[in-house]
Homo-oligomer: A and B are copies of this chain.
Amino acid sequence: MHNITRVALVGGTHGNELSGIYLLKKWDKTSQFARWPQLELTQTIANPRACEHSVRYMETDLNREFALEDLQNYRLVGYEQLLAKKLNQQFGPRGRSPVELMIDLHNTTSNMGACLMLLRKDAFNIGMAAYVKDRMPEAVIYFQDNLPKERKRFLISVAQQGVTVEVGPQPNSVLQQETLELMETMTAHILDYVVLYNDDKLASLPAGFEAFQYTEDLVLPTDEQGQRLAMVSKRLDRRDFHPVEPGDVIMETFDGVPICWEGDYTAYPLFINEAAYHRSHSAMSMSQRIVLRCADYF
């Protein structure tokens, strides 16, 4: 078993998601980092200029700029493309990073609660998910390890291990105390887990836990001019991770025609009506409920 000591806490990857930015400020101010003396914790604001302007990004989404070929492509010189190269220097390089864990702090405008998003199913991540869900039953565990390789170009890909803490609903450029506290609780549990993991004291983990597994993305229908013809049905709004059965209404056109879920499985939608995805007319992502047994991974 490999020790996880160098841990990078990152906020402000999206400049208008305030909980991570303020959590780092709060922990700095109140010396909370000293709670984990066993770890070499660093804290970083990934996109300070976007934070200053309180926008998601200046030119392109920083959290989609970490594909290995893009990091190595010297012709990509947009603002966030350059920033990604700098962060890859600072925390990477991707594939050979000395940073053992990166925790990237995000908000969503969708009602996803405190969501732990994981890109791999390995013993470290499964243990983390089991631990967090056990200590924080309201947490949602979400696996997107089945995303196609070309979509795994998140900032956390630069480090050896990475997790995303995604908390909502919170409008962009807003700081809500309750959302901040959810993020704080989940992040502290993750760090507590890392210490236990290093000490090989995972015996008390639960046997298994409930999680959600990414399946597909749904977009709103548009006309030839790219104008939306429908919106997400109000039956779904704010009901992220609630089951949708085949045939259930999920959208409605502006003249009142219902659009139903055509999948052949019970879907659990997330990122319902997420503001950041409005340009692509994304309606929601779909997932399936799964139950994972820790014994299968240890």
* Residues of A participating in the B interface, judged by any CB pair closer than 8 Å: 22, 25-26, 29-30, 54, 109, 169, 171-178, 180-181, 227-228, 231-234, 237, 252, 254-255, 273-276, 278-279
A29 nearest CB across to chain B (Å): 6
Decide if A26 touches B181 in the complex (CB within 8 Å): no
Decide if B254 touches A30 in the complex (CB within 8 Å): yes
Tell me which of B178, B231, B232, B237 contacts A234 (CB under 8 A).
B178
Given contacts A29-B255, A30-B254, A254-B26, is CB(A177)–CB(B278) below 8 Å? no
Q: Which B residues are CB-close (under 8 A) to A22? A: 228, 231, 254
Known: A22-B228, A178-B234. 19 other contacts (CB 8 A): A22-B231, A22-B254, A30-B255, A54-B278, A171-B171, A171-B172, A172-B172, A172-B275, A173-B275, A173-B276, A175-B228, A176-B231, A176-B234, A176-B237, A177-B232, A177-B237, A177-B252, A178-B237, A180-B231
Q: Which B residues are CB-close (under 8 A) to A234? A: 176-178, 181
Decide if B232 touches A279 in the complex (CB within 8 Å): no
Q: Which B residues are CB-close (under 8 A) to A227? A: 25
Given contacts A22-B231, A25-B254, A181-B234, is CB(A279)–CB(B174) below 8 Å? no
Copies of this chain: 2
A26 nearest CB across to chain B (Å): 5
Q: Which B residues are CB-close (under 8 A) to A237? A: 176-178
Bound complex: CA A29 to CA B173 (Å):
33
* Closest Cβ neighbor of A220 among chain B residues: B175
Residue of A26, A109, A177 with highest tally of chain B CB at under 10 A: A177
